[in-house]
Amino acid sequence: MWELGLSGRAIVTGAGQGIGRAIALQLLAAGCHVQAIGRSGEKLLTLADEAKVPADQVLATALDIQDTAAVAQTLAKSQADLGPPRYLVNSAGVLKSSRLLDTPEDALANTIAINLTATVVMSQIVARQMIEAGQGAIVTIGSNSGTTPRLLLGGYPASKAGLEMAMKCLGLELSEYGIRCNIVSPGSTDTPMQAAYQGDTKSRERVLKGDTGSWRLGIPLGRMAQPEDVADLVLFLLSDRARHITMENIVIDGGGTLGAR
């Protein structure tokens, strides 16, 4: 059996639902202790039961990642209490559907603040802890819309494009410490965020089969990704099986962008 050999402490943002939750559950199943960060503490409290692991294997942390002071204080305390993290997964993000032409400045600023700025700051804080420990791996959830233009995603594609380069630059800086930093960019994935964006059944069909009116090519593999599909890739990249992979952006979209970059 091909074991990933994951162990130690992991931090996962956006762990309350969707891709982040699937990643947290798989890390718990692999035996990691997970600090699960999200806006809803109630959702985080059910992780241990769902993963069928002891309650003390999860540190449920209700936190607004835009609050830099609170993030720094919270992570310093968890490091002091539990030791340095070995893994960080940045999965928190927001998507507000609109034409970019019509996106209000405050909505654009909010998207950039959460998807880009807060994620980079989180990574800075955790990376410093990893440097002290002499090991670590970071995986950040991007989007195939960061490399392929999409309609009605407001500032989301720009935030993810910026995030990709920020993580690559951070990965370059961290390479001297043996800390790897990669990006996983899903396409359409069966999550609450996707459901809110796509709306009705006809919209889902256009995502799968393509729609010339919105310049979509469809998904050659014929289905949306499940959060677990993305989580599988993330866990591989965190593991020592991916020990020589860093600064990469791996797209997982069922062929939806035809491998274009």
What residues are labeled active site?
A: 156
Give the end-to-end CA distance of the chain in Å, rounded to a whole number: 34
Give the list of residues 6+ apart from residue 209 with CB closer than 8 angstroms, or none: 218
**HEC readout, 171-207:** HHHHHHHCCEEEEEEECCECCHHHHHHHCCHHHHHHH
Residue 211 CA to residue 190 CA, distance in Å, equals 19
Residue 172 CA to residue 85 CA, distance in Å, equals: 20
Position 249: which residue type?
N
Residue from 85, 173, 81 nearest 122 by CA: 85
Q: How far apart are CA 205 and CA 201, in angstroms?
A: 6
The Cα–Cα gap between 67 and 121 comes to 10
Residue with tokens 């995603």: 153
Look up residue 140 and give its two tokens. Answer: 């950040």
> Do the bridges between strand 9-13 and strand 87-90 make them parallel or antiparallel, or are there none, so unpaired?
parallel
